């Protein structure tokens, strides 16, 4: 019998298992892939997460990080133009970095090995079939085709956004479509020196490009992230909006890759991977109950992901939630109490950390991002404004304010514009 079972060797699960093993607990970490990270298609940025450096003081020196992000670009696309807004900071070119791009199959394997070195018993190729329930308490798991039973007084569930086990534990229902997004990503190989020259980078500097207006009006957007010798390019599409549109996601993705701005950035790159997965997009209001007798939820299984329109954060929230779940379990062992009332301290820890505080801060932003006009009308308005500002046709020029008013008035009713401005302001102020 183990002290604790962790299901899922992603960032949340490995962090939880590593922390508990470092503190002397016997931990079993179960992963359905043949190796950790095998099934992960994440292509993006790991924001700075201090709890990882508490676990592994040499994390920044030893982890297989690709590039640290020093430049971020937001690009608004229309049928005929692209308007880009670039932020670059020298402060992000030295530790503590704002964040680094990673390649999850490599990172996850390395991170899980650190857990094994700390004493975690990692079992791969293992599908958890069911939870062992005694009365109201989770007492372990049932695994494999022979339905072998493994018992432990506490289980941490980190099996992803569609977590079947969280549903079986009675902590959440099947996620609704408005709380999910579909992420599609392709990985392209390109020489390191070519990436540096094309994106204006040196050494291990990296950049991100986010795109709005590239989804035929479907709520969502595109991205390109630089790794050392690869580029991750993809789309994130809100599932309910995608379904209503009737468009095939991979058709939208091919259109995105073919648009002029993206095609130039990917010129000469060779496609090596192509995949998709679900992303939690429910925000603070859709976070389920996170604990019950003998069980905790962490990472995507707990819906811990948010966007404020500029940042999409999830991996750092997953790691922090795994850390706080482990700390809660360590407290429970000191008191020999694994009931829900004791494990409720996990909720308090998350509420006092950046995890739920950030999600609550941007709670209204998540609501505002469900406005379809953000992904269709407003990129066109920006395009019209910029074209009229730079156009030289022999006619007298107008002041910028008048150009903006005319572009907005021609694109949507004044009442809708006022409502959007008010809601947008409230969502970030």
What is the reported pLDDT for 29? 98
What lies within 8 Å, CB to CB, of 65 at 6+ separation is 46, 100, 101, 102, 107
- Residue 90 banded pLDDT, cuts 50, 70, 90: very high
What is the reported pLDDT for 400? 92
Domain co-membership, 38 together with 132: yes
Instruction: Confirm whether 357 is domain-assigned.
Output: yes
Beta strands in 252-293 (DSSP E): 270-280, 291-292
Q: Taking Cα atoms as reference points, which of 40, 46, 54 lies closest to residue 8?
A: 40
- Give the residue-averaged pLDDT of 379-403: 91
Residue where one domain finishes, among candidates 225, 255, 280: 280
Is the pLDDT score of 429 beyond 80? no
Domain co-membership, 170 together with 309: yes
What is the reported pLDDT for 41? 65
Strand partners, 4: 27, 154
Beta-strand relationship, 154-157 and 4-7: parallel
- Give the residue-averaged pLDDT of 246-257: 95
Residue 101 half-sphere exposure toward CB, CA atoms < 13 A: 26
Token digits of residue 14? 């490995």
- For residue 30, the domain's CATH number is 3.50.50.60
Instruction: Confirm whether 190 is domain-assigned.
Output: yes
**DSSP secondary structure code for residue 120 in this structure:** -
Domain co-membership, 29 together with 112: yes
Range of the domain at 423: 376-428
What lies within 8 Å, CB to CB, of 250 at 6+ separation is 184
**Helix (H/G/I), strand (E/B), else coil: 392:** coil
Distance CA 23, CA 31 (A): 22
Domain co-membership, 155 together with 294: yes
Q: Taking Cα atoms as reference points, which of 305, 308, 302, 306 lies closest to residue 324?
A: 302
Domain co-membership, 307 together with 161: yes
Cis before 256? omega within 30? no
Instruction: Confirm whether 129 is domain-assigned.
Output: yes
Domain co-membership, 221 together with 188: yes
Domain co-membership, 21 together with 168: yes
Strand partners, 149: 142
- Give the residue-averaged pLDDT of 268-286: 91
Instruction: Confirm whether 58 is domain-assigned.
Output: yes
- Give the residue-averaged pLDDT of 141-150: 89
Is the pLDDT score of 364 beyond 90? no
Q: Cβ atoms within 10 A of the Cβ of 396, count?
A: 4
- Residue 191 banded pLDDT, cuts 50, 70, 90: very high
Most confident of 177-181, 194-198, 404-408: 194-198
Q: Name which of 12-26, 62-76, 105-119, 412-426 the model is least confident about.
A: 412-426
Domain co-membership, 242 together with 139: no
Domain co-membership, 161 together with 192: no
CB 332 within 8 A of CB 24: no
What lies within 8 Å, CB to CB, of 396 at 6+ separation is none
Query: In the chain, what percentage of residues exceed pLDDT 90?
Result: 77
Token digits of residue 18? 């590593």
Q: Taking Cα atoms as reference points, which of 345, 366, 183, 372 lies closest to residue 286?
A: 366
0.85 exceeded by pTM:
yes
CB 375 within 8 A of CB 218: yes
Distance CA 288, CA 304 (A): 10
303 against 424, higher pLDDT? 303
Burial-class residue 35 by CB neighbours within 10 Å (0-12, 13-18, 19+): middle
Domain co-membership, 58 together with 128: yes
**Helix (H/G/I), strand (E/B), else coil: 313:** strand
Could you read off the pLDDT of 2-54 as tens digits, one per residue? Answer: 999 999 999 999 999 999 999 999 999 999 998 988 777 666 889 988 899 89
Average pLDDT, the chain: 93
Could you read off the pLDDT of 199-249 as tens digits, one per residue? Answer: 999 999 999 999 999 999 999 999 999 999 999 999 999 999 999 999 999
Q: Name which of 129-133, 196-200, 368-372 the model is least confident about.
A: 368-372
Domain co-membership, 244 together with 200: yes
**Helix (H/G/I), strand (E/B), else coil: 53:** helix
- Tell me the CA distances in angstroms from 413 to 30, 231, 410, 417, 426, one per residue in order: 55, 40, 8, 7, 20
What lies within 8 Å, CB to CB, of 76 at 6+ separation is 82, 83, 84, 211, 212, 213, 378, 379, 382, 383
Helices (H), 97-219: 104-117, 164-168, 192-199
Residue where one domain finishes, among candidates 280, 302, 322: 280
Domain co-membership, 41 together with 152: yes
What is the reported pLDDT for 310? 79
Count how many domains the chain has. Answer: 3
Q: Name which of 135-144, 255-264, 413-422 the model is least confident about.
A: 413-422
Residue where one domain finishes, among candidates 316, 334, 363: 363
Q: Name which of 168-177, 278-287, 361-370 the model is least confident about.
A: 361-370
Q: Cβ atoms within 10 A of the Cβ of 356, count?
A: 23
- Tell me the CA distances in angstroms from 105 to 158, 162, 300, 379, one per residue in order: 17, 20, 17, 35
Could you read off the pLDDT of 319-337 as tens digits, one per residue? Answer: 999 999 999 999 999 999 9
Distance CA 211, CA 126 (A): 38
- Residue 269 banded pLDDT, cuts 50, 70, 90: very high
Helices (H), 226-376: 239-245, 249-258, 260-265, 315-335, 340-343, 345-352, 354-361, 363-368
Instruction: Confirm whether 95 is domain-assigned.
Output: no
Could you read off the pLDDT of 119-129 as tens digits, one per residue? Answer: 999 999 999 98
Strand partners, 408: none
**Helix (H/G/I), strand (E/B), else coil: 13:** helix
Instruction: Confirm whether 423 is domain-assigned.
Output: yes
């Amino acid at each position: 019998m183990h002290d604790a079972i962790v299901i899922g060797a992603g960032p949340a699960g490995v962090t939880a298992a590593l922390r508990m093993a470092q503190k002397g607990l016997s931990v079993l970490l179960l992963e359905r892939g043949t190796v950790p990270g095998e099934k992960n298609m994440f292509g993006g940025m790991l924001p700075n997460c201090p709890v990882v450096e508490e676990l592994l003081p040499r994390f920044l020196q030893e982890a297989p990080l690709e590039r640290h992000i020093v430049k971020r670009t937001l690009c608004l696309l229309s049928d005929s133009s692209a308007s880009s807004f670039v932020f670059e900071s020298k402060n992000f070119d030295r530790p503590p970095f704002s964040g680094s791009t990673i390649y999850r199959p490599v990172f996850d394997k390395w991170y899980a090995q650190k857990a094994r070195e700390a004493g975690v018993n990692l079992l791969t190729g293992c599908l958890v079939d069911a939870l062992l329930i005694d009365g109201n308490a989770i007492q372990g798991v049932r695994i494999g085709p022979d339905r072998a039973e493994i018992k432990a007084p506490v289980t941490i569930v980190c099996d992803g956004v569609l977590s079947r086990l969280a549903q079986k534990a009675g902590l959440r229902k099947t996620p609704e479509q408005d709380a999910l997004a579909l992420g599609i990503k392709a990985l392209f190989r390109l020489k390191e020196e070519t990436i540096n020259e094309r994106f204006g980078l040196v050494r291990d500097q990296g950049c991100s490009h986010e795109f709005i207006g590239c989804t035929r009006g479907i709520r969502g957007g595109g991205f390109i992230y630089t790794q050392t010798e690869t580029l991750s390019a993809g789309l994130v599409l809100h599932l309910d909006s995608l379904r209503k549109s009737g468009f095939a996601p991979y058709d939208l993705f091919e259109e995105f890759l073919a648009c002029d701005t993206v095609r130039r950035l990917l010129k000469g790159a060779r496609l090596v991977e192509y995949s998709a997965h679900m992303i939690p997009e429910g925000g603070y209001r859709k976070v389920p109950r996170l604990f019950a007798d003998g069980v905790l939820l962490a990472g995507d299984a707990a819906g811990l992901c948010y966007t404020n329109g500029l940042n999409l954060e999830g991996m750092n929230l997953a790691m922090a939630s795994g850390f706080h779940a482990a700390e809660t379990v360590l407290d429970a062992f000191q008191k020999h109490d694994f009931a829900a009332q004791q494990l409720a301290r996990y909720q308090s820890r998350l509420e006092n950390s950046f995890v739920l505080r950030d999600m609550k801060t941007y709670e209204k932003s998540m609501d505002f991002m469900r406005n379809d006009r953000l992904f269709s009308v407003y990129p066109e308005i920006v395009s019209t404004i910029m074209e009229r500002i730079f156009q030289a046709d022999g006619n007298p020029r107008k002041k910028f304010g008048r150009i903006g008013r005319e572009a907005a008035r021609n694109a949507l009713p004044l009442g809708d514009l006022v409502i959007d401005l008010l809601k947008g302001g409230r969502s970030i102020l």
